[in-house]
Structure 1
């Protein structure tokens, strides 16, 4: 059964938590309903008992009758019925009291505490999400500012390159500068007064506007408004008062139309907003508008003029009418631009200023991204803790209701055995309550998504990724490391290989990948190595081995795209959901499925394939050497499934799909067959690039850094190839056979040119996706690099035969070694050297091998670009 901690996630965090808290609040209402049933039943029992007790009292008021015959049998029967009725009244009152004491009062207190716990968790998480979203918006603004500054610097540099190239086109020194003549202000006002005014949907002549304004000034409530720091404003009216006047006197049909008229009064210069930024008119009692001198002058109504009172003197702006008018922002702008000594960077040129501002914007943006990343980590940690706590709260609530039903039925069964049938039904209802089943139902029907963190990375304007490790595109990270597999992956796998022998027993070694590590602990280790540099092994020593394994899973989860790209998710879904036509049992045959998987995985980028191969080598070795059973393999594949393959958009349908899990199982079971075929397709693709048909789709490139330099290098290499060659002016014909100096790539006969061509020779020993031993070249990073960045492609028959011969002559891969220590070990106080590469592990597993070889050296070779 999934848990809360892995079921209520969403991209914005709030949507998934909103669904969960909606269900939890529904549980709070259900508690109140149960409490209401118990309380009303207690009241009913109390009333019923009281009515039963009233019967003997009413009968006793009747004179004569049974009280005259003491020894009659009828008298005894009557007394028995009367006594039973009194006992029944006492029993029902006792039931009412028991329900209050055992059910209503304790469950009421528990419900209040439960509601408080749910509300406090919701309030805390909402506060954290709002702070995170606010910081995310701030980072977007900082990024935009940083990019704008960089563009200005680039524009200035381009202008400097093109400046003063031709002195003939420069402006003449004695050229006269045209003058701009400004008409007098009074004439402009007279022309403006003759123009009609558009107010609302009507057009008014100046005389009509004069009467309207005069009527407004005489009928709208007007007073003084005090604004902190700026002073007291005269002749002000609230927005709600103006709207009320417009609806009463100008026949406006709605508030929105009245607001439009008020906005037109502001636009035409009769009103202005005070105490706030902008000039928007709104129907609000808290927004005040000052009648400007133009309104008084045009209407002929005298204006109240009093000196503006201020606590201190500051220069204020002057409006178009020549009167002093304090406006919002004057004080802050004055203080911001106030430079007493005027000595800050006196000799700074405009170019230096732009570069300095770009550097400052870069630093602020970088700091903002770091702060956002820390807030995101803290938010995810808090969500994990609260989700686990809320899951316990919900399970306790379901158990509490089960207990309440039991106690409720017990209060009745202990007092009135005659109600046994009712009690039996209540006990049956109590037995049908299944807390775990209800919790499973909630998760299966309302879960919103699994934990997939979305990292906001620092985007350098020049496409550098030297300062961040997590959340960066896998190929960009590998290119920055100059490796086929990112250094972070090889380092983590190497560290785990070296420290498996330190654990006690195979069960502990297998449990490394299934141990539930607190996200806070994983984030601590992440923060220490998230700097874009190769991680130091000393940092890992501060944490236990499961935390290091959890860090690798977190790194794969934080990738922008999954290790097996989401672009092929639909293909993999089809592979596992569509049955082959020739299959008798209705399922796709295994050989056919593996073949299609090979073709599908060949569409991935080389970095993704090499990283996937490195990880699968590690896990299959762990499974083989620790003799893992089927249950462990199932749990391991389930844990790794979201790290390897995720859909582009997670929906309620993809949450129930097991295609990622099935892909992991196939990679475990058929790793050698799948990746050996990928190696063969890689070799064919690199050899066939000379005469291939060019129909192979290109890998999607996400990085265009240094594109110009790579294109120049490619052009230079092609020129050397066509024009060089010992002084010969003719280019030598291309041979279809592979060159003894390695593979070189000419211009492909079809398809577009690659952005980053491989110009150097590829070492012949770096053509395998397998993980070699300590004497090998690397960790499966020696993939040949075809022109289009993919495996496969068409191949001439001569080349195909030669490649087939080379493939057949290759030696079989040697047997995996055990998980022993990689270096020498001390046995009996003596240093014992490790056995040579290729030596099979001794029988008995990890514990019985005293000087077993490490088996894998995760040494990544640099990429050939």
Structure 2
């Protein structure tokens, strides 16, 4: 059964925790309800006891009765009734005292302490989430500043390129008599113009009228004060216009939305105010005024206010800057107006200044992302600790209520046997309470998501992926490493193969992937290697083997998309939801092969390397079905995740079933994938793989140059505008990797036949060092096997040696002699050697061939 630590996660952290704390606060109210019942029952018993005690004194007030006949039988009956009344009063008083002593007082103190624990935990997590959100907003602002600086630098380069042309290319020296002129009338509406090109679409007058009517009615407009010039009416920010275009006009990316805004300026519907030029950009700092032509064409009256350019000094009785549109802004404008060059950089040109500012903005953005990543890691560690603590608190609460009902029923049942039937019913109710079942019910009905960390990745303006390792797209990381499989994956798998023989027994080796490693310990190792650079196994040697394995699982969880892409999740769901439609097991495997062939080459190669490692571990340690089931459950979220987690996907087992099939049919599936990759490579020139639409702006400069050339052709041809130079939706494609079939899978990640993978024990490690060694035993490797060299030549191939020795069935378990094992111990997750001496290099050697594409 999953616990709190794996059930109440969400993309913004707050939503999942909000559901949990709502249920925990409901438990606090349930405690108060139980306490109210016990308290009021004690008060009722006390009141009843008091009334019973008043019965005999009231009867004794009657004089001349039974007091005169001391020996009468009727007197004895009367005395017996009085005694029963007094005993009943004492019994009910005892019940009230027992309920207060056994239930009300201790349970009330426990409820207060429980509520305080929950409140402290909630306050701590809320403060951490707020700090994380503030840093996330700061990172967004720093990213915007950095991108704007880069845009300004590019614009300056464009101006320099156009401003310093050669004399023969200048328009003034062109003797061509027919030079077309482009005249732009700002405030006049031309009714004869009946065709408008906005983005990639061409609209008639009626269509553009409807579009402008909706835009002017929907987009937020207001006033904007410009120093010296005054106040402008009907002004909208660039970010508001881009947001409208993305929502209502099919703007699939920010660059396309900016292109539509630029077309609105070109057609005379908008104009930039407060800045020089007529460039449209997605910025909340850039303001655009809707021109008269837009209002006339849409048929909406324009709000006009006389432009006030006069200064008004505030009087003594009026508020400062009361009626003046510019007072209060002049000081700010003059403060930012730096006439003299900076003393720190006196000889700096505008281009150098922009480069320096862009570099400073980039450095601040990097620091902000790094700080945000540290806050995110700290927040996730705190959430893990608090969720485990809250799970114990909720379990203790349920057990406490069970104990309270037992004490409550005992306080009544021990005093009044006549209430035994009531007590039996209460005991029955007490027996029906199942704390474990209630906890399972809470998890099954209120889970919000498994632990899938969302890493904020540093986005370099020029599309470089050399600052981070975790959270970076798998293919981008592999391209940066110039490998088909990222270096971090091959390094970790090779390190584990080297150090499996150091562990005591096959049980310990199998348990490496099932150990619950503290997240803080994994984050420490993650911080050591998360610099985007290739690292050696010396860093991994400082930590124990389960921590290294946990690092690989965390790397796969932090990928933007799962190893088996979420795009094929619905296909895999169909495969396992309709087993009868797929026929036999062989047909299901064939469908899985076709589905996995849609993945990128890097994903397939990485998946092959991982599955080869796990199948070897299962075979060489003779793992049983219980272990394979547990391993598949652990690896399922690392291999396949849905795009969005919902209450339905949390209960689905498609990822687990996929991992089981990959482990069971690994050779058949990946052998067929290699064959299919060879066939598809021969036709890769004519058949290209579709690619998702990119939102990066790394080619913005090239697109602007092409757009300028298209506008120039329009002017020379004196005809309607040419098709927009931006790439059409059909152009967003990713070419299949180039190179021969031998480069499709440069890593020999698995044997081609099942006979190549033999099951053997880990015995006779002493024989490995012999001169006539032809086979190795279990997970041992020949001497001299090192971790992959990151500076390999281009012709080296990624090989995985899997020499499995041993033929005796009796030598399959725990056969590594202690004489050949390096003595070491792990303290707090770090590896500390206890005896000097060099350690024989053992393990599987992975050599990755560089990518050719």
Q: TM-score, normalised by structure 2?
A: 0.70
Equivalent residue for 1:858, pick from 842, 846, 849: 846
Q: Which residue of 1 aligns with 2:387?
A: 387
Residue equivalent to 1:771: 749
Structure 2 counterpart of 1:640: 635
Q: What are the residue-to-residue correspondences of 1:204-223 with 2, within 5 Å?
A: none
Please give the alpha-carbon distance, in whole angstroms, between the structure 1 residues aligned to 2:101 and 2:67.
Answer: 40
For residues 98 and 706 of structure 1, do their structure 2 counterparts lie closer, same or farther at Cα, with a shift above 3 Å needed? closer
The match for 1:461 is: 461
Alignment of 1:827-842 (within 5 A): 835=775, 840-842=804-806
> Aligned residue for 1:235?
none
- 1:524 paired to 2:518: no
Task: Report the equivalent of 1:345.
Answer: 345
CA distance in 2, matches of 1:64, 1:267: 110
Alignment equivalent of 1:620, drawn from 607, 615, 623: 615
Q: Which has the higher contact order (CA 8 A, sep 6+)?
A: 2
Aligned to 1:574: 574
CA distance in 1, matches of 2:421, 2:666: 64
- The 5 A counterparts of 1:258-657 are 304=317, 320=324, 327=328, 343-581=343-581, 588-657=583-652
| Residue 107, structure 1, aligned to residue 107, structure 2 | yes
Larger Rg: 1
CA contact (8 A) 1:28 1:115 kept: yes
Distance 1:827 1:684 in 2: 44
Gaps of 5+ in 2: 174-302, 703-729, 777-800, 821-839
Question: What is the CA deviation profile of residues 436-489 of structure 1, one whole-angstrom value per residue up to 9, with x for unaligned ones?
Answer: 000000000000000000111000000000110000000000011000000000
Maintained 8 Å contact 1:515/1:546: yes
1:33 paired residue number? 33
Displacement, 1:758?
5.4
Between the aligned partners of 1:103 and 1:3, the Cα distance in structure 2 is 30
CA distance in 1, matches of 2:772, 2:31: 68
Residue 58 of structure 1 corresponds to 58
C-alpha distance 702-645 of structure 1, shift in aligned 2 (>3 A): farther
Deviations 1:161-217 (A, max 9, x none): 333214485999xxxxxxxxxxxxxxxxxxxxxxxxxxxxxxxxxxxxxxxxxxxxx
Taking the aligned partners of 1:861 and 1:62, their CA distance within structure 2 comes to 112
The 8 Å contact of residues 563 and 603 in structure 2, kept in 1 or not, is answered as yes
Report the alpha carbon displacement of residue 537 of structure 1 after superposing the two structures with TM: 1.3
Which residue matches 2:690? Answer: 698
Question: CA shift at 1:64, angstroms?
Answer: 1.4
| Aligned-residue RMSD, C-alpha | 3.7
- C-alpha change, 1:501 and 1:46, in structure 2 (3 Å) is same
Contact 1:679 1:769 in 2 (8 A): no
1:107-142 deviations in Å (ceiling 9; x for gaps): 000000000000111111111111111111111111
Q: Shift of the alpha carbon at 1:862? A: 1.0
Give unmatched runs, 5+ long, in structure 1. Answer: 173-263, 273-291, 297-302, 309-315, 582-586, 711-750, 774-809
Match of 2:98 in 1: 98
Q: Select 2:757's aligned residue among 815, 822, 825.
A: 815
Q: Cα gap change, 1:42/1:502 in structure 2, threshold over 3 Å: closer, same or farther?
A: same
Distance 1:549 1:758 in 2: 30
- Distance, in Å, in 1 between the alignment partners of 2:420 and 2:753 is 82
How far 1:157 moved relative to its partner? 2.0
1:848 aligns with 2:815: yes
Quote the residue 2:237 is aligned against: none
Secondary structure, aligned partner of 2:11: coil
Q: Determine if the alignment matches structure 1 residue 119 to structure 2 residue 119.
A: yes
TM-score (normalizing by structure 1): 0.69
Question: Greater CA deviation, 640-649 or 842-851?
Answer: 842-851
Structure 1 contact 146–358 (Cα < 8 Å) conserved: yes
Q: 1:129 to 1:343 in 2, by over 3 A?
A: same
Judging changes above 3 Å, is the alpha-carbon distance between structure 1 residues 528 and 833 closer, same or farther for their aligned structure 2 residues? farther
Change (3 A) 1:704 1:371: closer
Q: Deviations over 1:635-670 (max 9, x none)?
A: 110111000000011110000000000000000100
Aligned residue in 1 for 2:130: 130
Preserved contact between residue 501 and residue 819 of structure 1 (Cα < 8 Å): no
Cα separation, 1, equivalents of 2:333 and 2:28: 52
CA gap 1:688/1:348 in 2 versus in 1, 3 angstroms: closer
Cα 1:156–1:85, aligned 2, differ >3 Å: closer, same or farther?
A: same
Shift of 1:703: 9.8
C-alpha distance in 1 between matches for 2:76 and 2:507:
80
Structure 2 residue aligned with 1:2: 2
Alignment correspondent of 2:782: none
Matched with 2:659 is 664
Q: Which region of structure 1 is more displaced relative to structure 2, 469-478 or 846-855?
A: 846-855
CA distance in 2, matches of 1:561, 1:682: 22
